[in-house]
């Protein structure tokens, strides 16, 4: 893994190791999910999935259902890709010796939060503040 904790509030490489391992496993799962979603959304229509090779839908509602399912899959794919970006950023922070330090205030992110969301770049206080600002 790279250098030792160089940023105030960051975990040392040894402290970050369990999170590094967790992030690698999570990354592999998300990559698999995105591959599956992409294949499903872009390559297969209702007819192909049921074995019907005819491109003509039986009913107009089928067209709407197919479009909805494809749009839903593409939305899920976008969310998974955003998560993948966050995971990669967290892995980069580990390598840089900055993992565990809130990118907003620099305080140490509690391990309980990192166990729940290992790719989070911000502490609970900054997350709460951000959520309150977005609501009001």
Whether residue 47 lies inside any domain: the answer is yes
Whether residue 8 lies inside any domain: the answer is no
Say how far apart CA 101 and CA 129 lie, in whole Å: 17
Element (H, E) at 122: none
pTM reported for the whole predicted model = 0.75
Cβ pair 14, 53 in contact under 8 A:
no
Q: Could you tell me the CATH number of the domain that includes residue 57?
A: 1.20.120.910
- Name, in order, each residue with C-beta under 8 angstroms of 87's C-beta and a sequence gap of 6 or more: 23, 26, 27, 30, 118, 119
What pLDDT score was predicted for residue 56?
Answer: 57
Q: Is the dihedral of CA 121, 118, 81, 79 positive or negative?
A: negative
Whether residue 1 lies inside any domain: the answer is no
Whether residue 5 lies inside any domain: the answer is no
- Name, in order, each residue with C-beta under 8 angstroms of 55's C-beta and a sequence gap of 6 or more: 45, 47
Domain encompassing residue 28:
13-135
Whether residue 111 lies inside any domain: the answer is yes
Per-residue pLDDT of the chain (136 residues; tens, 9 = 90+): 544 446 789 999 999 999 999 999 999 999 998 888 777 766 654 445 455 555 555 667 767 777 788 788 888 889 999 999 999 999 999 999 999 999 999 999 999 999 999 999 999 999 999 999 998 7
């Amino acid at each position: 893994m790279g250098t030792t904790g160089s940023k105030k509030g960051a975990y040392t490489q040894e402290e970050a190791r369990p999170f590094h391992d967790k992030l690698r496993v999570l990354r592999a799962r998300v990559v698999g999910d995105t591959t599956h979603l992409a294949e499903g959304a872009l390559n297969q229509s209702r007819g192909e999935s049921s074995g019907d090779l005819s491109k003509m839908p039986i009913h107009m509602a089928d067209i709407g259902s197919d479009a909805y399912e494809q749009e839903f899959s593409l939305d899920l794919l976008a969310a998974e890709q955003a998560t993948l970006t966050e995971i990669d950023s967290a892995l980069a922070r580990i390598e840089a010796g900055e993992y565990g330090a809130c990118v907003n205030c620099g305080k140490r992110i509690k391990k309980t939060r990192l166990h729940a969301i290992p790719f989070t770049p911000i502490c609970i206080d900054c997350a709460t503040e951000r959520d309150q600002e977005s609501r009001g």
